[in-house]
Amino acid sequence: MTQTEIMNQTEDYVLHTYNRFPVVLDRGDGVRLRDCDGKEYLDFMSGIGVHALGYHFPGYDEALIAQIGKLTHSSNLYFHLPLKEASEKYVHSTGMAKAFFTNSGTEAIEGALKAARKYSYQKYGAGRSEIISMKDSFHGRTAFAVTVTGNEHYQEPFRPLVGGVKYADYNDLESVKALLTDKTCCIILETLQGEGGIFPAEPAFLKGIRELCDEKDLVLILDEVQCGMGRTGAMWAYEHYGVRPDIVCSAKALGCGIPVGAFALNGKLADASLAPGDHGTTYGGNPFAMAAVSKVFDLFAEHDIVGHVNELAPYLEQKLNDLKAAHPCIREQRGMGLMRGLQLDDSVQASSVASRALEKGLLVITAGHNVLRLLPPLVITAADVDEAVSILDLCFL
C-alpha cells in the first residue's frame, strides 16, 4: 500500500480535526524518523515535545516490555508498585506534596482547576470561584481547558463556556491586578507560552503573580505540559524564576511517548482540596504508564539530560541567531533551552517553511502568529543542530 493510499483511507475513517502533513511515519531511531518509503527525517518537533529522549533510548523500551509482562491496568481501586515509584519521583522533582496522574495534559489542567475551586470553596464558601487566565494561552480543548485558553479561535464555536474566567495580558502584571476581585480564586498561566508563540514569562511578572497569590490566598497554577521536564534547561521552567506554584501541570515528555499527564499540589492544596469522590479516572496512573514515568525520571538522572540541554542550548540559540542574520524575514528568535521560536514577517508563512523543511527531511511545526517552532528531542547533538539549521537556511532562500 502506498503512502497516498494510506493517507486517503485514513481520511475515510478518521474525523478531520487535524490538517496532517502528507507523510506516513513508520518508525523512529534516536532523533530520526522514517516514513513508509524509507525516507529519513531529522526530528525537531519530537511529537510536539513528547519524545524528549528520542526513539528507543537505551533502557526505556525494556522497562515497558517488562511491565507489559506483568500488568498494564488495575484501576485506581488498588495499589501497585509502579504508581508508588512514579509518584515519589514526580513529587520530589516538582517540590510538591502530592500527585494525581491523568491520561493527558488537558486532563491535568481540568483536575488542577477543580482543585483550585475546591480549595477556595472549602475555605471561603460558595461564590469565590473566578479564574484569571492569560490571553493567547493554550491549556487544552475540553470544556474547562478551552475556557481558560485565552484565544477566541478555539472558543467561539463552543459557547457558552464554563463561567467565571477572565483574561489578562501575559507579562503585564497591572492587567492581572485590574481583574482581581473578592471572587477570584486562582490564576493560571504557562511558564513559557507554547502554542501562543514561544513567549517566556518575564521574571518580574511571574514573581509578581506569586506575590499576589500569597497576599490574597489565591491558587497559582503553572501549566508546564510543554515547557516542563527539562526542556528549558531546568527540570521545571519555574525553577529559573525562584518561584514555585501551588499546582503544576505536566504531560508530554513525562512519559516520553506513553500517554500520561499529571498535576502536583503543594501541601496546602493537597490537604484542603480534592477528596474521595471529587475527582477520578479509570486509566490514569495505570501500571504501564507509571512504569514509563518512573523510567523516564531514572534516565533523566542517569544521563544528566538537563545538563545536556544547558550545554547544547546556547549553540542552538547562536545558530538560530546566525540564521536570523542571514534572512531578514526572520524578525526575532526567542525561547528557552530547547524550546525555540522564529518569528517571521508576513512575507513568508511559517506553515510554508515547515512544509518545505519536511520535503528536505526536517520536521518542524508552527505556533502563534507566524512562528516557526522547534521542539527537538533533548538528546540532540551539535551535529544535529548544524543539519537542522542548514536545512532551514535552504527553506528561506
Number of domains present in the structure of the chain: 2
**pLDDT in the model for residue 22:** 97
Q: How far is 218 from 185, CA to CA, in rounded Å?
A: 5
Does one domain contain both 199 and 288?
A: yes
- pLDDT at position 296, please? 99
66 within domain boundaries: no
| Residue pointed to by grid coordinates 470561584 | 129
pLDDT at 193: 98
Which of 267, 302, 337 corresponds to the end of one domain? Answer: 302
Please give the chain's pLDDT, 397 residues, in tens: 999 999 999 999 999 999 999 999 999 999 999 999 999 999 999 999 999 999 999 999 999 999 999 999 999 999 999 999 999 999 999 999 999 999 999 999 999 999 999 999 999 999 999 999 999 999 999 999 999 999 999 999 999 999 999 999 999 999 999 999 999 999 999 999 999 999 999 999 999 999 999 999 999 999 999 999 999 999 999 999 999 999 999 999 999 999 999 999 999 999 999 999 999 999 999 999 999 999 999 999 999 999 999 999 999 999 999 999 999 999 999 999 999 999 999 999 999 999 999 999 999 999 999 999 999 999 999 999 999 999 999 999 8
Residue 312 and residue 200 in one domain: no
Smallest CA-to-CA distance from 329 within 347, 317, 341 is with 347
Last residue of a domain, one of 243, 274, 302: 302
Give the global pTM.
0.97
Please check whether residues 265 and 201 belong to one and the same domain. Answer: yes
Residue pair 115/264 in contact (Cβ under 8 Å)? The answer is: no
Regarding whether 181 and 119 lie in a shared domain, the answer is yes
- Residue 101, H or E segment: strand 98-102
Length of the chain: 397
Residues 25 and 160 in one domain: no
CATH number at residue 357: 3.90.1150.10
State which of 271, 302, 333 marks the end of a domain: 302
177 in the same domain as 42: no
Beta bridge partners of 42: 32, 362
Cα 151 from Cα 27, distance rounded (Å): 35
The reply to whether 116 and 131 lie within a common domain is yes
Q: How far apart are CA 94 and CA 363, in angstroms?
A: 31
Which residues are 91's β-sheet partners? none
Residues 16 and 77 in one domain: no
**Residue 64: inside a domain, yes or no?**
no
Measured between its terminal Cα atoms, the distance across the chain in Å is: 35
Residue 291: domain span: 71-302
For residues 182 and 125, is the Cβ–Cβ distance under 8 A?
Answer: no
- Give the C-alpha distances (Å, rounded to integers) separating 289 from 67, 101, 378: 9, 9, 21
- 128 and 262 part of one domain: yes
State residue 289's pLDDT score: 98
132/234 same-domain check = yes
The pLDDT assigned to 397 comes to 84
178 and 286 fall within a common domain: yes
Same-domain pairing of 97 and 217: yes
271, part of any domain: yes
Distances (CA, A) of 4 to 21, 39, 165, 388: 12, 15, 44, 26
- Does 65 reside within a domain? no
User: What pLDDT was estimated at residue 188?
Assistant: 99
C-alpha grid cell, residue 274 = 480534592
Whether 338 maps to a domain, the answer reads yes
Domain of residue 97, CATH code: 3.40.640.10
The answer to whether position 63 is within a domain reads no
